[in-house]
């Protein structure tokens, strides 16, 4: 993995109007999020999802789909007003 592609591994990371946070304690490394949104997530060497800088290229609906795909709801999304919109 390119180390320059990650600045703030678990977030919060702002992507357009969404802010993404990964709860590392919940994440079980199922990698569903990586399959759905490969520009946004990758697994680190502890098999926890981390947020790539290229998340900025991902469309919001894909980010929502990735959060929905997470079996343990470890991906938390907030809107531009700081309101939690998922889960």
Binding residues for ligand SF4 (CB under 6 A): 22, 27-33, 41, 49, 69-70, 72, 74-75
**Spatial contact of 63 and 79, defined as CB atoms under 8 Å apart:** no
Nearer to ligand SF4, 58 or 81 (CB): 58
Q: Which is nearer to ligand SF4, 29 or 81 (CB)?
A: 29
CB of 61 to ligand SF4, least distance (A): 17
Tell me if 14 sits within 8 A of 58, measured CB to CB: no
Minimum distance from CB of 30 to ligand SF4 (Å)? 3
By the 8 A CB rule, do 58 and 41 touch?
A: no
Taking the complex as a whole, the smallest distance from the CB of residue 4 to ligand SF4 amounts, in Å, to 21
């Amino acid at each position: 993995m390119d180390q320059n592609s990650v600045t703030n591994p678990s977030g919060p990371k702002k992507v357009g109007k969404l802010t993404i946070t990964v709860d590392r304690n919940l994440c079980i490394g199922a990698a569903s999020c990586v399959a759905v949104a490969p520009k946004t997530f990758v697994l680190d060497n502890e098999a926890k999802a981390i947020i790539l800088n290229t998340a900025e290229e991902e469309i919001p609906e894909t980010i929502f789909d990735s959060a929905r795909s997470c079996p343990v709801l470890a991906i938390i999304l907030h809107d531009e007003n700081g309101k939690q919109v998922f889960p």
